[in-house]
Structure 1
Amino acid sequence: MAEVLALVEARLRTALGEPDARASVTFLGTDRIEVLRFTDPGQEAGQETGQEAGRESGRDAGRTAGKGPGPGVVRYATLGMSASPMSDPTAALADPLKGPRAELVLTVRAGLADTDKVLRPLAVLAASPQVEGVVVAPGASLDVGEPLWPGAPFTSVLVAEPGGLVENLELDDPMEPVRFLPLLPMTGNEAAWKRVHGADALQEKWLSAGTDLRDPLRRSVPLD
């Protein structure tokens, strides 16, 4: 476990730079989950492009996350979720080596809200495979049941495709690679609409509307 997490942290540092803060949360009956904060001061006005922002996710909808110039961004990444593989809750016995491994990454614009309060909700989501026996995968919705940070219009996130901002981390066989899954905050209306129409349809809505998915105070995309 310690060796895997050391490799994961090294990959995060390579992709995102040095963390400027970290917090540790332990839930009863689970391993420790850490959340690392990486501050990116951003580029000068007019220099940030949609293609650059698209690195957040492997899908085209990720491009909308960085529409237009603005303040720098803050990235929060979990560390500890990948220590053990996620197992199918219907399996009779969990394999200690085989199974998907992941960490979560959330990016928001800096200075617009008290987003550091997201540390505990992120740790809750990262602990959900241990606590609830769920397998977190792209297209899934994750809900913490309360605002992600004070004043946030979001209680849930959409899990996006990996491989954009932080590349998958290959591990020795038979272990599967660690995937770094971007989280895209959803308003209540968006989460309800996604349950009916699916993740791809919601991401197309975001893309066609030019939604700034990094805005921590954004409103819901029109869903008519």
Structure 2
Amino acid sequence: MSDVTTAVSEQLDQHFSGYHRDEAQITFLGNEPMRLLRFVPDSGSGDDDVVWYSSLGCSAHPMDPEAINPDPGAPRAEIVLGVRRGIDAVGKTLAMIAASPSVEGVVLREGLLIDLESPLWPGSSFTAVILTPSPVPDVAGDWGADVVVYQAVPVTQTEAAWVRLKSADTLREAWTEAGVDILDPDRSAVQPRD
């Protein structure tokens, strides 16, 4: 594990203290293995039915897709995704999102819509995510840019269309106005106002 991913791992453990941590690994052809972490709350800890999933490995390299030798100061990121009651099948989707900088040259950033055009897990009505600020603090170190930990929030096709037409901020405002629990895997789509 690199210094960067070690620091991120420690930050995640600190943030999710009081949770039980599990780990798996997934490899995409031609890429370094991506580690997937699952944080299951111990009873009595905070929002005790939300399971958090996290990538670990995306931040090992700066996101500088145009450069042969990436700038160490280019952005670095990891992704977390919270699901009320947990759905472990979302882990593969999370790994695909976290691998998109090395596989597709995507630079992960706040407000980015990532449309997978298929259910995020079997039976899901969500086919995309938007990246929002997460509850996990950024991770600073001497490797260059801080590692930003984004939260991937599942969105439906309808919501994804609104993000394309308006913005991720418009959708987040609609969720707030409607009192939507974005961690609920069974929630309905929200129709933002014109």
Do the two structures share a fold, i.e. TM-score over 0.5? yes
| Residue 123 of structure 2: aligned partner | 151
Task: Report how far residue 223 of structure 1 moved.
Answer: 3.2
Per the normalisation by structure 2, the TM-score is 0.91
Extract unaligned runs of 5+ from structure 2.
Answer: none
Instruction: Report the CA distance shift for 1:101/1:23 in structure 2 as closer, same or farther (over 3 A).
Output: same
1:176 aligned to 2:170? no
Where do residues 21-170 of structure 1 align in structure 2 (5 Å cutoff)?
A: 21-41=22-42, 72-87=49-64, 89=65, 91-95=66-70, 97-110=72-85, 115-162=87-134, 165-170=135-140
| Residue 10 of structure 1: aligned partner | 10
Choose between structure 1 and 2 for higher RCO, CA contacts under 8 A separated by at least 6 residues.
Answer: 1
Task: Report how far residue 92 of structure 1 moved.
Answer: 4.5
Contact 1:82/1:103 (8 A) holds in 2: yes
How far, CA to CA, are the matches of 1:41 and 1:184 in structure 2?
Answer: 23
Instruction: Report the CA distance shift for 1:161/1:222 in structure 2 as closer, same or farther (over 3 A).
Output: same
Extract unaligned runs of 5+ from structure 1.
Answer: 49-70
Which structure features the higher share of strand residues? 2
Q: Which amino acid aligns with 1:134?
A: V
Task: Report how far residue 40 of structure 1 moved.
Answer: 1.9
Q: How many residues align?
A: 192
The CA RMSD measured in Å over matched residues stands at: 2.0
Where do residues 187-206 of structure 1 align in structure 2 (5 Å cutoff)?
A: 187-206=156-175
Q: Per-residue CA shift, 1:15-49, capped at 9, x if unaligned?
A: 013543211011111111111000125659xx96x
Per the normalisation by structure 1, the TM-score is 0.79
What percent identity do the matched residue pairs reach? 40
Task: Report how far residue 96 of structure 1 moved.
Answer: 5.0
Provide the secondary structure at the position in 1 that maps to 2:93.
helix
